[in-house]
Amino acid sequence: MNKILIGLVVTLLIFFLYFYQSPIISTSEAINNAEKYLLNPPEEWENSIIFNGLEGTPPENISVYLTPKPGYWNEITNKMNWEVTIKYNGQESTIVIDAYTGEFINLYGPLG
């Protein structure tokens, strides 16, 4: 009886973790955060990035994708990242941010 009860509780917990979703930040917030991270990059990338902001960047040069976070636990709980790709000055950089908090995760592509 105890094993059945423990199994039921664990199953319900897994279902709850999978279906419960924290609110995801909007695409405009994701773009604003990406611009902020390109304008104020981490110290190790500071001399590699030449970015003057999104003024004058046409909307078709900005693409935003919601992608699953890598990892087994993140798959189980269905966690997501925003990937914001910005084409500027003949270059294309992708900024990966957490879809729930807006925190910087990674930046890849030509930096400048």
pLDDT reading at 35 higher than 90? no
pLDDT reading at 45 higher than 70? no
Answer whether residue 7 is part of any domain.
no
Spatial neighbors of 40 by CB under 8 A, at least 6 apart, are none
pLDDT reading at 103 higher than 60? yes
In whole angstroms, give the CA distance from residue 73 to residue 27: 25
Q: For residue 42, what are the domain limits?
A: 23-108
Answer whether residue 14 is part of any domain.
no
Q: Which of 22, 109, 41, 34 is nearest to 65 (CA)?
A: 34
pTM over 0.85: no
CATH of residue 98's domain is: 3.10.450
Answer whether residue 62 is part of any domain.
yes
Tokens of 56: 């004058």
Chain mean pLDDT for the chain: 82
User: What is the structure's pLDDT at 91?
Assistant: 77
**Structure confidence at residue 48 as a pLDDT band (50, 70, 90):** low
**Number of domains forming the structure of the chain:** 1
